[in-house]
Amino acid sequence: MKSVGVITEYNPFHLGHAYQLRQMKEQTQADIIVVAMSGNVVQRGEFAILDKWKRAEIAVQSGADLVIELPLLASLQAADYFAYFGIQALSHFKVDIFAFGTETASTSQLQSYTEDVIEKEHLIDEAVPKLIAKGFSYAAASHMATQQVMSASSTDFNPSSSNHILAKQYLLQNLKLKHPMQALAIPRLDRDSMGKDLLSGSQVRSDWFHNNLSKDKVPTLTYNALQQNPTIRWEDYWDLLRYAVLSKTPSELHDTLHVREGIENRIIDQIKQAENFHQLTDALTSKRWTTSSIQRILLAILLNMNQSKWVRYAQAFEEAPFYRVLAFSQQGQAYLRLLKQDNISFQTKLKHNQTQAYFGNLRADQIYALNPRHNIREQNYQTLIHIKK
């Protein structure tokens, strides 16, 4: 079976995602669409607005054939790690073509630019520490270093736009594979057929929580899911976060994943003064620390994820990658049978004595389900979703 895949979060699934799935099918004529999707933690350092099961279900009902869960190793880290683990996941499931969104650049333009970046990677690596020493975050320093080194490169597109930055990471990781996949850039759709602007995921979430989301702005499946299921945000966990911070000493917080440079002291100080989660993140965000990086640290604190636990988890995953299937269509089920014949490992049902390689997702799911404001169904041992279409 010919397969095309995409790395995504669907937080939540919106009209742009629906368009992308249609284009993937039309442009490749693939038999199977594989989606590598974040679980209940997304890369911005927050919990997903809808749980992973509902988001996977919507994806298959909207055209996907197989939804696999990315490890927490992807979603609780910066974009380069998200790209690395996403590409590894699609490769593990024998995907032939991987698709990604782009503002304006074509596949060939991005491919050529990325190959140029690889040739000059040593120069970029040398520039990053110097920028970090000037007070920039790693993400900002990496982006600025790339811009500086690549400034003489002639391009017909803006390499600094958000989709192009992520596309570059995908292509970098793909080119490092022993057997790289074919790449397919799909230009983002900004307006619908009536000329109305399409909402991004962040705009959908904002409009929903401000009671300003109209039915025509998102797919019907998404609107109904938002109406009928708990919709989650960081504020729900504010009291749990305060407890997680204030019950630890500075040295204990210092051992938390991503914590460095004394940020633990600022977190302790500011959480005593802040009245809500947004006040806290606003106080902690700086040139050195982006909002997303701060949120990832706070989520690591909430998950009680220290450096040693993370290292053991990462080592276990690298030794024996653990991929869980969340949902599939009949065509997806047939594809899984072929993968089993090729001895490709994956899990459809979770057992109570599961491996350390799924530890991060287990922990995240357990804390996610502790939401004090909503009754969230048990997340770890749900039966996977089989959709006939």
Query: According to CATH, where is 3.40.50.620 located in the chain?
Result: 3-232+313-387
360 carries a ligand binding annotation: no
pLDDT confidence bin for 131, thresholds 50/70/90: confident
- DSSP of 289-301: S-HHHHHHHHHHH
15 carries a ligand binding annotation: yes
19 carries a ligand binding annotation: yes
101 carries a ligand binding annotation: yes
What integer pLDDT is reported at residue 353 of this predicted model?
A: 67
Region 11-21: mean pLDDT is: 96
What integer pLDDT is reported at residue 154 of this predicted model?
A: 57
CA distances from 108 to 2, 7, 157, 168 (A): 22, 19, 12, 12
Confidence check: pLDDT of 44 > 90: yes
Confidence check: pLDDT of 112 > 60: yes
pLDDT confidence bin for 192, thresholds 50/70/90: low
158 carries a ligand binding annotation: no
Tens-place pLDDT, residues 145-173: 877 777 756 566 666 677 788 888 999 99
Tens-place pLDDT, residues 331-384: 999 999 999 998 888 988 887 667 889 999 999 999 999 999 999 998 987 777
212 carries a ligand binding annotation: no
29 carries a ligand binding annotation: no
pLDDT confidence bin for 111, thresholds 50/70/90: confident
Which strands, in side-by-side order, build the sheet including 32-37? 182-187, 97-102, 3-8, 32-37, 66-69, 324-329, 385-387
20 carries a ligand binding annotation: yes
Pick 212 or 104 by higher pLDDT: 212
d(CA 322, CA 327): 16
10 carries a ligand binding annotation: yes
118 carries a ligand binding annotation: no
Confidence check: pLDDT of 59 > 70: yes
Contact indicator for 218, 199 with CB cutoff of 8 Å: yes
Q: Which of 222-236, 301-315, 354-368 has the lowest mean pLDDT?
A: 354-368
Helix axes 359-368, 307-319, angle to 10 degrees: 130
Pick 389 or 42 by higher pLDDT: 42
8 carries a ligand binding annotation: yes
336 carries a ligand binding annotation: no
Contact indicator for 328, 65 with CB cutoff of 8 Å: yes
205 carries a ligand binding annotation: no
pLDDT confidence bin for 142, thresholds 50/70/90: confident
Confidence check: pLDDT of 105 > 90: no
d(CA 273, CA 242): 11
**Nearest of 208, 188, 303 to residue 248 by alpha carbon:** 303
163 carries a ligand binding annotation: yes
Instruction: Enter the tokens of residue 378.
Output: 């048990």
What integer pLDDT is reported at residue 134 of this predicted model?
A: 81
12 carries a ligand binding annotation: yes
55 carries a ligand binding annotation: no
Tens-place pLDDT, residues 1-12: 899 999 999 999
CATH of span 3-232+313-387: 3.40.50.620
